[in-house]
């Protein structure tokens, strides 16, 4: 693997992981149309870890508060010293993230079959069109006001179902969950924040599962410099992608990504039949 290839894969992972355009869909298109080589198992794990670091850095204060409140909540539950007081916002946010992660458990048995859909460029093109529709509709919904204090269990579960559905190649995880959050009346900024925070256990869990395969495959020491470069590019580009999504969410301007998804989806569908 060349350094340029490693940097490109890092950029592709970092940007498409957070922008609502589907990272899995773009990777599959790259492999199918350009004979691109998928990152080996270890590199794939490292790239996902790098994007996790981007989320940790951007939402550092939120994550620290959530971890602290998780343990405080566990202690309060055991000692029963809540005294009937309402849970702090960070503790409620932890609960909502956990609830939103539960629907993914239902998808796990079908993981291989779902990933196999990435071999069909026609399917990915259609899925990108659907992603565009979700983003276009999200822009036109009335802004909500719900946040970690006021969102409900039903909100969390439905957004979690959207995340589970987005494992399908071509459906953007961030776009689908942010659109679902907006539809449920979440404040736009909070919908983005919740989407990225709820991605942590999902991506971390998937990454840990891949670590086993990576360990069995072994490590090629000669590729370590390329791995480091790819991780650095993925982390930096991912951080700025998160900033961009937050900026556009505040202005209700996801429409630009809708047009992009439609364009790529249509080109993919046409190319599928032309090159068949």
pLDDT for residue 212: 67
What's the sign of the alpha-carbon dihedral 119, 120, 121, 126? negative
Q: How many domains does the chain have?
A: 1
Judged by DSSP in three states, 186 sits in strand
Residues 6+ apart with CB under 8 A from 51: 13, 14, 17, 18, 203, 234, 235, 238
Report pLDDT digits (tens) over 212-271. 666 666 666 677 888 889 999 999 999 999 999 888 877 777 778 899 999 999 999 999
d(CA 114, CA 27): 15
pTM of the entire predicted model: 0.86
d(CA 51, CA 13): 8
Going by pLDDT thresholds of 50, 70 and 90, the confidence category of residue 130 is very high
**Strand ranges (DSSP E) for the chain?**
none
Report pLDDT digits (tens) over 197-221. 998 887 787 777 777 666 666 666 6
pLDDT for residue 16: 86
The residue segments making up the domain with residue 105 are 3-274
For residue 175, give Cα distances in angstroms to 40, 55, 113. Answer: 27, 16, 22
pLDDT for residue 88: 80
Full DSSP string of 5-39: HHHHHHHHHHHHHHSTT-HHHHHHHHHHHH-PPPP
């Amino acid at each position: 693997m060349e350094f340029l290839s490693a940097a490109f894969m890092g950029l592709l992972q970092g940007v498409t992981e957070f922008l609502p355009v589907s990272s899995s869909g773009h990777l599959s298109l790259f492999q199918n149309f350009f004979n691109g080589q998928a990152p080996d198992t270890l590199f794939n794990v490292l790239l996902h870890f790098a994007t996790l670091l981007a989320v940790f850095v951007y939402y550092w204060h939120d994550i620290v508060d959530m971890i602290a409140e998780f343990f405080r909540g566990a202690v309060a539950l055991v000692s029963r010293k809540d005294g009937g007081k309402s849970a702090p916002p960070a503790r409620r946010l932890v609960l909502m993230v956990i609830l939103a992660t539960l629907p993914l458990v239902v998808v796990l048995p079908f993981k291989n079959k779902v990933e196999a859909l990435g071999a069909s460029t026609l399917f990915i093109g259609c899925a990108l069109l659907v992603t565009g529709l979700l983003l276009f509709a999200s822009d036109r919904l009335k802004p909500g006001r719900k946040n970690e204090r006021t969102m409900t269990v039903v909100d969390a579960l439905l957004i979690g179902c959207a995340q589970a559905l987005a494992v399908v190649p071509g459906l953007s995880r961030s776009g689908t969950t942010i659109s679902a959050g907006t539809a449920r009346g979440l404040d736009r900024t909070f919908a983005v924040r919740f989407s990225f925070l709820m991605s942590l256990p999902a991506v971390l869990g998937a990454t840990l599962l891949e670590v086993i395969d990576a360990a069995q495959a072994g490590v090629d020491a000669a590729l370590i410099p390329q791995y480091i470069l790819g991780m650095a590019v993925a982390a930096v580009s991912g951080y700025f992608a998160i900033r961009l999504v937050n900026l556009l969410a505040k202005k209700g301007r996801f429409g630009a990504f809708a047009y992009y998804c439609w364009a790529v989806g249509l080109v993919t569908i046409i190319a599928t039949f032309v090159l068949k």
